């Protein structure tokens, strides 16, 4: 279970953190949207069903956080985050999967994603931790 992080009134008055969900399965994209919509300080930027769609979306709208499935048909969650971050270097990418990664540390390094979580663990606390990672002065290697 992830610890709950609380946001101050200052954090809530700031511009919302924009979140994009990338998954070839619509049910997860719908669930991600519900979590984002229900979490103060975050807004739904949109969704993509593939790595290629994610790249187009990121070029057009530069979201703050991208939640990306590891297994997608056109471009996997290891290659897609590298390409997304080449277009938008400040984006925080969270890799998600229903199953654990075979080699999580190596996969995270190769993908350049900020963190990995199982889809079942995705929720408001994880979004808030990713937001904290994006703040100036956040400790390197802070992982949800």
Q: Tell me the pLDDT tens digit for each residue of 86-113.
A: 999 889 999 898 887 666 666 666 777 8
* Mean pLDDT of the region 77-92: 89
Judge contact between 54 and 20, C-beta under 8 A.
yes
Structure tokens at 77: 């969650």
Tell whether the model's pLDDT for residue 25 goes beyond 70.
yes
Give the per-residue pLDDT at 108: 66
- Taking the C-alpha atoms of residue 133 and residue 114, their distance in angstroms, rounded to an integer, is 8
The pLDDT of residue 77 is 76
DSSP β-bridge partners for residue 115: 94
What pLDDT is recorded for position 98?
87
Residue ranges and CATH numbers for the domains of the chain are 16-133 (3.40.50.2300)
pLDDT digits (tens, 9 = 90+) for 26-65: 999 999 999 999 999 999 999 999 999 999 999 999 999 9
Distances from the Cα of 91 to the Cαs of 18, 25, 37, 98, 99, in angstroms?
Answer: 10, 22, 19, 23, 24
Calpha distance 80→36 (Å, rounded): 22
């Amino acid at each position: 279970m992830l610890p709950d992080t609380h946001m101050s009134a200052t954090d809530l008055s700031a511009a919302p953190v924009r979140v994009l969900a990338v998954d070839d399965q619509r049910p997860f994209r719908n669930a991600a949207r519900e979590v984002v919509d229900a979490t103060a300080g975050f807004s739904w930027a949109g969704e993509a069903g593939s790595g290629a769609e994610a790249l187009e979306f990121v070029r057009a709208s530069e979201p703050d956080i991208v939640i990306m499935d590891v297994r997608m048909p056109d471009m996997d969650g290891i290659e897609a985050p590298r390409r997304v971050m080449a277009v938008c270097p400040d984006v925080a990418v969270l890799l998600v999967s229903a199953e654990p990664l075979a080699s999580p540390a190596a996969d995270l390094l190769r993908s350049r994603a900020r963190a990995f979580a199982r889809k079942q663990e995705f929720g408001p606390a994880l979004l808030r931790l990713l937001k904290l990672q994006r703040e100036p002065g956040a400790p390197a290697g802070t992982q949800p």
